[in-house]
Amino acid sequence: MKLQEEINKRKTFGIISHPDAGKTTLTEKLLLFGGAIQTAGAVKNNKITKSATSDFMEIEKQRGISVATSVMGFEYKGKLINLLDTPGHKDFAEDTYRTLTAVDSVILVIDCVKGVETQTEKLMEVCRMRNTPVIVYINKMDLDGQDPFDLLDELEEKLDINVRPLSWPISIGPTFKGVYNLVDKNVNLFSSNKTKIERDVVTISDLSDPKLDELVGKYADQLREDVELIEGVYEPFEKKEYLEGRIAPVFFGSAVNNFGIREMLDTFIEIAPNPKAREAEGKEVMPTDENFSGFVFKIHANLDPNHRDRIAFLRVCSGTFERNKFFHHVRLDKKMRFNNPTSFMAQEKNLIEKAFPGDVIGLYDTGNFKIGDTLTEGENFMFQGIPSFSPEIFKEVVNGDPMKTKQLEKGIAQLTDEGVAQLFTQRMGNKKYIGTVGELQFEVIQYRLKHEYNATCNFHPLNFYKACWITSDKKDILDEFVRLKSNYIVNDKDENLVFLAQTRGVLQITMDNYPDIKFHFTSEMN
């Protein structure tokens, strides 16, 4: 098959949500629709539960499960869909941000009772940075949730994106009757059904059809009013605007009851983008370029201490990846080939011979890869970096065993290459600071240093509020700033300059005092 045809068949996306909104449930139902799994309950384990926060083995076990289910491929209506899993746990938010760089669109799940939650806002910020197209699925309509119009307003206000409902709930909570499809103009009646994926669609000629009153009783008039209001307030849905990340179509449903999912999936198939062009240094790489290219967005350590190898997750961006063919590892300037690359089909890992743009493949790695690495064929270039965001918790690494300094350094370097946490090195004095978004990572680091590198370390808490990457067109001003603030200046892993601010106030004053210096809140500094 021609490359173009392979590209046209593929859609690669991620599901994001605040924990508990229903991401796992929706994922599972999508896989049921795609025939990738036969029974409900198969994906359920793929999340780090709250109770696991201090049970290392449990975390490790769950991390293990998440390798198998990190990428789930399934087919639906002739399309090959790659669903990339994103950890919902807040402490693993960085992992989610990175995964979002490897998808072409997202489905955002909102709990209709809780509305927009903190994690939702952060994740949407990341989507907006790349203008990632978003489809919203408002879940749990069988519960007494907020008024749908209020939910739409809240989405627009808190997520800074225009929305357009494409389906509309008929009542909500215990009296939830179903949804009206605003595009096909038919009614899908709700039946509480957790295992089957059939649906009960009733076509009505138009909203004035008396059949509607028979079907939903007193809620028919409310629906008529609502639809009139929607058509009056919201502009018609334009696919182009969705693809540019300017408008998000909204669907209502109940994931656990398999409800409202098919409507969304059918629309997704129609409108979601195929693998897109990607920015590399100074150029756009088209998926149709005959030469293969791809980048690593996730690295997963092997949990078996006897096998130190890791799995690097590579997103194919252009051309055709082939097993055992030599490609170029750009950062190391090294030819590499892969004997046992894997694809991920739902729960299984399969050896693959070829992969195409949009696909994610697992490459066994013995320490050659770090997050953001690029593989190419022919021309050499690096894909634009995967951004790091300012950590929220900072601690200094204190060696627990001076005889094992080398092991500790290697362990810290490798774990931070994997993206478990960010490493900052003090410019004066060479102290090492670790920055994370959650406490959980410190426990994971300590545990893994001990078990995989035979090193011990302690952490001293540091009182920093934020890390800002700093740049300036005026080199002398930047040099002077670095000299004056030397105690607060560190290098990130790529030797970029980073300013550690102790408080929000200090940061504000510093920014006011140094207008010629740019303070960036992510490592993406353009």
Binding residues: 17-24, 85-89, 139-142
How far apart, in Å, are the Cα atoms of 280 and each of 100, 286, 378, 507? 17, 10, 15, 32
At its nearest, how many Å lie between ligand G4P and the CB of residue 136? Answer: 14
At its nearest, how many Å lie between ligand G4P and the CB of residue 3? Answer: 35
> What's 259's DSSP letter?
B
Window of 19-27, 174-182, 357-365, 403-411 that interacts with ligand G4P by CB under 6 A = 19-27
Q: Contacting ligand G4P (CB under 6 A), which of 10, 12, 24, 363?
A: 24
Q: Contacting ligand G4P (CB under 6 A), which of 256, 363, 490, 497?
A: 256
At its nearest, how many Å lie between ligand G4P and the CB of residue 33? Answer: 15
Q: Contacting ligand G4P (CB under 6 A), which of 6, 13, 16, 22?
A: 22
Q: What angle do CA 50, 53, 54 make, to 5 degrees?
A: 145
> What's 402's DSSP letter?
G
Residue 505, H or E segment? helix 504-513
Rounded (10°) CA dihedral 320, 323, 325, 326: 100
Positive or negative, the CA dihedral 335, 340, 343, 344 is: negative
Q: How far is it, in rounded angstroms, from Cα 296 to Cα 375?
A: 8
Answer yes or no whether residue 85 interacts with ligand G4P by CB under 6 A. Answer: no
Whose Cβ is closer to ligand G4P: residue 147's or residue 516's? 147
How far apart, in Å, are the Cα atoms of 397 and each of 129, 421, 430, 434, 456? 32, 12, 11, 7, 10
At its nearest, how many Å lie between ligand G4P and the CB of residue 19? Answer: 4
| Residues 134-163 as x/- pattern, contact with ligand G4P by CB under 6 A | -----xx-xx--------------------
**Do the Cβ atoms of 400 and 447 come closer than 8 Å?**
no
Whose Cβ is closer to ligand G4P: residue 16's or residue 163's? 16
Q: Contacting ligand G4P (CB under 6 A), which of 212, 250, 255, 311?
A: 255
Whose Cβ is closer to ligand G4P: residue 19's or residue 148's? 19
* Side chain identity at residue 210, one-letter code: P
Task: Determine the 3-state secondary structure of 484 from DSSP.
Answer: helix
Answer yes or no whether residue 47 interacts with ligand G4P by CB under 6 A. Answer: yes
Which of 161, 132, 163 is closest to 149 using CA atoms? 163
Q: Contacting ligand G4P (CB under 6 A), which of 25, 69, 96, 388?
A: 25
C-alpha neighbours within 13 Å on the C-beta side of residue 31:
28
At its nearest, how many Å lie between ligand G4P and the CB of residue 449? Answer: 29
Whose Cβ is closer to ligand G4P: residue 112's or residue 386's? 112
At its nearest, how many Å lie between ligand G4P and the CB of residue 26? Answer: 7
Site of interaction with ligand G4P (CB under 6 A) = 17, 19-25, 47, 88, 139-140, 142-143, 254-257
